[in-house]
Amino acid sequence: MKKIWLSLMLLVVVALSAHAQFEKDVWYMNASLTGLNLSHSENEGTNFGFALTGGAFVADNVAVLVNLKGDYKEHGMDETCVGAQARYYFSSCGIYGGLGMAYKHLSCVGFKKNLVCLTPEVGYAFFLGRNVTIEPAVYYDWSLKDASDYSKLGFKIGFGVYF
């Protein structure tokens, strides 16, 4: 029981110390492993993705970010994506919500398609130190055209740096 209380107290201290990182004029960079999708397809085979995100806090708890993402599928459509996002951090903890737009290029043998997507996400910035975080997040890439065929729910985990 003591371990549980100690863990809860440590979590509260870490969450309260995170507030200083979400202030105006703080820069942010993140590298994420994506493609950990919550859907499964036997036809896709190996699925691996990588995303880079960077930006700055324009106001306390509000960041404007630019995203670059690529996904590789062994037996499916490869994806390249560029986008922008606004993100709001709740000041008392590391929970954040984001909303953005992305331009996505899909390709495989004999097929190419370009899409515009609305990209909401919810995540948590767990601080390992003063400026470094592990950030798990759930995202949804909602295609504005052919939503049922090209929208995607997924999970990503990344390392963030605040400076």
pTM score: 0.77
Rounded to whole angstroms, the Cα distance separating 34 from 70 reads: 9
User: Is 130 buried (19+), middle (13-18) or exposed (0-12) by CB count in 10 A?
Assistant: exposed
Taking only the tens place, the pLDDT of each residue in 84-96 is 999 999 877 889 9
Count CB neighbours of 105 within 10 A: 15
| Residue listed under structure tokens 């960077």 | 54
Taking only the tens place, the pLDDT of each residue in 48-60 is 789 999 999 999 9
Measuring CA to CA, which residue among 44, 69, 62 is closest to residue 139?
69
Rounded to whole angstroms, the Cα distance separating 81 from 34 reads: 12
- Give the total number of structural domains in the chain: 1
Taking only the tens place, the pLDDT of each residue in 130-155 is 889 999 999 999 999 888 888 888 88
The CATH number of residue 58's host domain is 2.40.160.20
Q: Which domain holds residue 90?
A: 2-162
